[in-house]
Amino acid sequence: MAKKIKSDLSYILTANELTTGDVVFWSRENSWTDTLAKASLISNDETEAFAEIGTSSERANEVVGAYLTPVQQNAAAITPVELRERRRVKGPSIAYGAPSFSHDLAA
């Protein structure tokens, strides 16, 4: 979970749920949630403690790939700063089990 921390931003702790692979966030209720709006906002001073929560959850086989990521917050929503995280929040860009396209090369 070594990632350069920028002091002027808030952070969230994110991971993937071990059994489903769903994107999850550490919540204000001190548990994992799949709802970004319930994510606990983490200050720069709290990053080490929350990184340890992620590590402990990985050891307990609750989640995989836990890490802190920067976010911006306004009155309406929490928004991840990085494009990768904005994509993860929205979920897959194609439907799971969607038919694949094939080209008939014999035609």
Write down the domain spans for the chain: 10-90
Residues contacting 65, CB < 8 A, separation 6+: 15, 16, 58
| Beta bridge partners of residue 24, listed in sequence order | 15
Which residue matches tokens 């014999």?
A: 106
Evaluate whether 85 touches 35 at the Cβ level (below 8 Å): no
Using the 8-state DSSP alphabet, how is residue 44 labeled? G
Evaluate whether 62 touches 54 at the Cβ level (below 8 Å): no
Question: Full-prediction pTM beyond 0.85?
Answer: no
Other Cβ atoms within 10 Å of 38 Cβ, number: 15
pLDDT tens digits, 30-58? 999 999 999 999 999 999 999 999 999 99
Which residue matches tokens 């307990």?
A: 60
Residue 75 — very low, low, confident or very high, per pLDDT cuts 50/70/90? confident
The continuous run of DSSP H or E covering 93 comes out as none
